[in-house]
């Protein structure tokens, strides 16, 4: 049993949450193709119009050139019958390309948004200006149309390096009371984007609220219903979750898109996020550890946090998690509700060591 801290006194939080995460016998590694030479990792997950599960991993070629793949999964959390379908996105747009190595389309998250009758992919476009959030849209979960880079003009958000975007599936209210579509994002500190390990001592001297945190951006629904291109025009952005001393003390960021959940008569949005801590390294040099935990947001006002894991539900333990391109990484990015296995049961897909893909079964108990 896990206990939670109270987050905001203005409403009733969820005091306790009985949650468990069990690793599944699923590991997807590079298949020898040059487009996966640097790893296959951090997949989005969704069900297509026919109900079949599709994963969208980041596929990394030599030179750290990233594409968004597509994998058909007839058996969830199993490699049985799995089929690679090519790429949803390859670096083509000017904001995804640059002349020196390290560019492309990274770390997608896919959400089906019923009010749009479409799938929305938020991903990191790594181009001439560095990492930026970009959006693509699809009606069949196969053919994707780019909408462009997200614009934060007028939102009071500092424009710069930004990652970990994932959309909520339903309209919500913004802090200003506007009916909006919303998505997570994580503005980056310049010092950590240059050299994350070297930045650790400086970050540890910063207040928690000034470290890299999870924000929610809001796009007015009316404008999007008139023109889907307006998905890229943010009107508000607010910090909702920041690092703390218990875990995720260096930085935190979104993981999976949120899914609707009901617990003890309270409805909200459940997501699995990642948190990063400094741990001892070789010759006393600190290194980073990525773990995963649970957050639950208020259904109508997701800037209000009902629950936050006081400890990770998954930390690096398995071989592929502890040793990889980057060691000690559990990076959640895709979630597949499994009502066939029980109420509040979810398969969570995650990156292992920035090299491979794993899966865990998350169960949330309650009434």
Quick: pLDDT tens for 293-306. Answer: 999 999 999 999 99
Residue range 243-253: average pLDDT?
Answer: 97
pLDDT of 255-264, one tens digit each? 999 999 998 7
Which structural domains are found in the chain, ordered by start?
A: 2-365 (2.115.10.20)
130 pLDDT tier (thresholds 50, 70, 90):
very high
Predicted confidence at residue 3, as pLDDT, reads: 35
Angle, alpha carbons 30-35-38 (nearest 5°): 60
Evaluate if residue 5 carries a pLDDT over 70. Answer: no
pTM: 0.94
Evaluate if residue 191 carries a pLDDT over 80. Answer: no
Beta strands in 38-101 (DSSP E): 39-47, 53-61, 65-73, 83-89
Q: Tell the residue number behind the tokens 């913004």, with chain if given.
A: 174
Predicted confidence at residue 4, as pLDDT, reads: 37
Predicted confidence at residue 196, as pLDDT, reads: 63
Predicted confidence at residue 199, as pLDDT, reads: 84
Predicted confidence at residue 9, as pLDDT, reads: 41
Who's near 132: CB < 8 A, 6+ residues apart? Answer: 95, 124, 125, 126, 149, 150, 161, 162
Predicted confidence at residue 10, as pLDDT, reads: 47
């Amino acid at each position: 049993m896990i206990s939670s801290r109270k987050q905001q006194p203005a409403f009733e939080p969820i005091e306790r949450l009985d949650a468990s995460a069990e690793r599944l016998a699923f590991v997807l590694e590079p298949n020898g193709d040059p487009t996966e030479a640097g790893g296959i990792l951090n997949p989005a997950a969704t069900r297509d119009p026919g109900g079949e599960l599709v994963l969208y991993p980041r596929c990394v070629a030599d030179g750290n050139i990233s594409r968004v793949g597509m994998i058909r999964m007839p058996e969830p959390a199993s490699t049985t019958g799995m089929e690679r379908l090519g790429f949803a996105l390859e670096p083509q747009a000017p904001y995804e390309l640059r002349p020196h190595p390290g560019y492309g389309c990274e770390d997608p998250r896919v959400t089906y948004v019923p009010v749009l009758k479409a799938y929305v992919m938020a991903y990191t476009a790594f181009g001439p200006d560095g990492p930026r959030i970009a959006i693509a849209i699809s009606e069949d979960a196969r053919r994707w149309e780019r909408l462009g880079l997200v614009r934060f003009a007028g939102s009071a958000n500092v424009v710069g390096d930004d990652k970990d975007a994932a959309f909520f599936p339903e309209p919500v209210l913004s802090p200003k009371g506007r009916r909006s579509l919303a998505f997570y994002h994580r503005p980056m500190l310049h010092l950590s984007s240059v050299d994350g390990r070297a930045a650790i001592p400086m970050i540890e001297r910063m207040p928690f609220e000034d470290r890299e945190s999870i924000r929610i951006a809001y796009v007015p629904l009316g404008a999007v219903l008139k023109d889907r291109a307006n998905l890229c025009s943010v009107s508000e952005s607010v910090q909702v979750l920041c690092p703390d001393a218990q875990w995720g003390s260096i930085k935190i960021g979104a993981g999976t898109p949120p899914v609707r959940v009901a617990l003890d008569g309270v409805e909200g949005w459940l997501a699995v996020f990642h948190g990063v801590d400094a741990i001892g390294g070789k010759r006393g040099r600190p290194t980073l550890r990525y773990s995963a935990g649970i957050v639950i947001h208020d259904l109508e006002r997701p800037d209000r946090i009902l629950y936050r894991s006081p400890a990770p539900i998954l930390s690096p333990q398995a071989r592929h998690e502890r040793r990889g391109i980057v060691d000690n990484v559990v990076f959640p990015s895709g979630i597949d509700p499994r009502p066939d296995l029980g109420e509040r049961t979810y398969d969570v897909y995650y990156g292992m060591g920035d090299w491979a893909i794993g899966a865990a079964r998350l169960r949330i108990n309650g009434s």
